[in-house]
Amino acid sequence: MPIDIISTVLYDGTDSIPGWEYLKTYVPVALTFGAIKYYFSGASNTWERDLHGKVYILTGATTGMGAQVAYELATRGAQLVLLVRSTEDIWVVDYVEDLRNKTNNVLIYAEECDLDSLYSVRKFATKWLDNQPPRRLDGVVCCAAESLPRGKPRQVTVDGVEQQMGVNYLANFHLLTLLGPSLRVQPPDRDVRVVLATCSSQALGEVDIDDLLWESKRYPSSQPWKIYGSSKLLLGMFAKEYQRRLMAYERNDKAPCNIRINLVNPGIMRTASTRRFLSMGTVLGLLLYLIMYPIWYLFLKSARSGAQNVFFALFAPIFPKLEGGNFVQECKINPKVRQELTDADLQKEVFDKTEEIIVRLEKQSAIERKKHKMAEDAKKPLAEKLREKNEEFERKSNIAEKPKTTDELSLKLNRLRQQISIGAIPNGELPLFPESTTNQQATATGKSSSSGANSRKSKSRKA
């Protein structure tokens, strides 16, 4: 059949092909579009890894590139812990259910960790670290980010930090440093990988050591990408410094560090954040975005194409052999990076400064929470307050629950003592048995415990 066609074309000319005029006009156009699309879709990852039994924490996995990463990891059998703003959100519940069904993987869970709030990040990390024995963790993939459109006023996180800085840099810093013990405790033969999504706009970012988070500088509402770029640049510097600190950590088993943190630039994708950015967050902008969609379709990557870089950073076998802190782009390691990403002294300074800022912000927000709670409590009627106080006391002294503080521990011990008719210890000291209480009382009245013991001995001898 193809030979027939070729021989007809050779003997009778191309005009003998039905619809040749159309083909002549449209095929080159279609091929050009195909070539452009292929080129702008970027490189594909060719590495594979069996993920059965592996556990990953993912941020930003509800949409865009993160959702693609979650889908692919779940398809390969990994257990996923998706960090979401709220687990109460019915959309999140449906999303997790849907992902489980599509990937035939039931080991997908959502945990609350709102990156807008350092307290929420701490609550999640504390819960994670609270597991005994420590939970398996093969990697953390941070895809969540905020990029604000041009012309909008400054927006802030719960802690009052500019939102892009707060979510893209500070929350990731906080999450990963808090998860440090969990990362470090993994067995030495485990290939633990942390992937941080970055962006080429880091080239527009700047590092002002005296005002890292743009707290005192005027918000550039006509160029919000400056802050977005700065947040990604700071994230890159954090990756470098944190990797160094993890490398320097001496494990009990003296094994070398098995954690690698890498930065991934996925390229520009047609995701929710790009749509919001290009449409400038307006209805008219959205309409224009839709009209121009063929252009975006041609020149911008799909979330799946962008995610290829994340897969490369997670699967390629080269990474455990490298030092970490690499900049992955188009499924390759890009050696050309900004000067700040090679300046170890500056990275250390920025790391230390960020730690200080986080301590300050957490203290401030704890005070705010306390004030808020007191104001709320003041509004409540007396009966409700008493009921809550009783409930709180019951909860704290419930011996079936694990104590959270030493005060709670002594409360529970006292309750236990009462239950077995020993009597509570007023000053909250821990001794559980009457003998030690007697000793303590003896000490309090000036007599030595040994003299108490001697007198008991002499009494028993007399008897």
Name the site residues for ligand NAP (rule: CB under 6 A): 59-60, 62-66, 85, 114-116, 143-146, 167, 197, 199, 266, 268-269, 271-274, 303
* Position 11, amino acid: Y
In the complex with ligand NAP, the residue whose CB is nearer, 139 or 452, is 139
In the complex with ligand NAP, the residue whose CB is nearer, 98 or 384, is 98
**148: CB partners within 8 A, 6+ apart:** 155, 163, 164, 224, 228, 277, 281
Least Cβ distance, residue 269 to ligand NAP (angstroms)? 4
Least Cβ distance, residue 10 to ligand NAP (angstroms)? 49
Q: State the Cα–Cα distance between residues 19 and 183, nearest whole angstrom.
A: 63
Least Cβ distance, residue 249 to ligand NAP (angstroms)? 27
- Given a contact cutoff of 8 angstroms between Cβ atoms, the answer to whether 166 and 157 are in contact is yes
In the complex with ligand NAP, the residue whose CB is nearer, 235 or 425, is 235
Gyration radius of the chain over CA positions: 30
Q: State the Cα–Cα distance between residues 150 and 121, nearest whole angstrom.
A: 28
Least Cβ distance, residue 351 to ligand NAP (angstroms)? 20
In the complex with ligand NAP, the residue whose CB is nearer, 199 or 411, is 199
Least Cβ distance, residue 144 to ligand NAP (angstroms)? 3
Element (H, E) at 83: strand 79-84
In the complex with ligand NAP, the residue whose CB is nearer, 58 or 411, is 58
Among 54, 232, 240, 301, the active-site one is 232
Q: Is 398 helix (H, G, I), strand (E, B) or coil?
A: coil
Among residues 404, 411, 407, 408, which one has the least CA distance to residue 126? 404
- The distance of Cα 219 from the centroid of its chain, to the nearest Å, equals 26
- Ranked by CB distance to ligand NAP, the top (closest) residue is 64
In the complex with ligand NAP, the residue whose CB is nearer, 192 or 303, is 303
Q: State the Cα–Cα distance between residues 262 and 185, nearest whole angstrom.
A: 20
Q: Look at the block and give the residue holding tokens 């050309």.
A: 336
Least Cβ distance, residue 129 to ligand NAP (angstroms)? 19
Among residues 81, 79, 88, which one has the least CA distance to residue 106? 79
In the complex with ligand NAP, the residue whose CB is nearer, 125 or 144, is 144
**161: CB partners within 8 A, 6+ apart:** 170, 213, 215, 361
State the Cα angle at 338 between 335 and 344, rounded to 5°.
90
Residue 232 is among the residues annotated as catalytic for this protein? yes
Q: State the Cα–Cα distance between residues 76 and 56, nearest whole angstrom.
A: 12
Element (H, E) at 390: helix 382-397
**115: CB partners within 8 A, 6+ apart:** 59, 83, 85, 121, 144, 166, 167, 171, 172, 175
State the Cα angle at 263 between 236 and 220, rounded to 5°.
45
The neighbouring-strand residues paired with 79 are 55
Least Cβ distance, residue 324 to ligand NAP (angstroms)? 19
The pair phi, psi for residue 192, each rounded to 5°, is: -95, 125
Distances (CA, A) of 198 to 112, 243, 266: 23, 16, 8
In the complex with ligand NAP, the residue whose CB is nearer, 143 or 246, is 143
Least Cβ distance, residue 232 to ligand NAP (angstroms)? 7
Q: Which residues carry out catalysis? A: 232
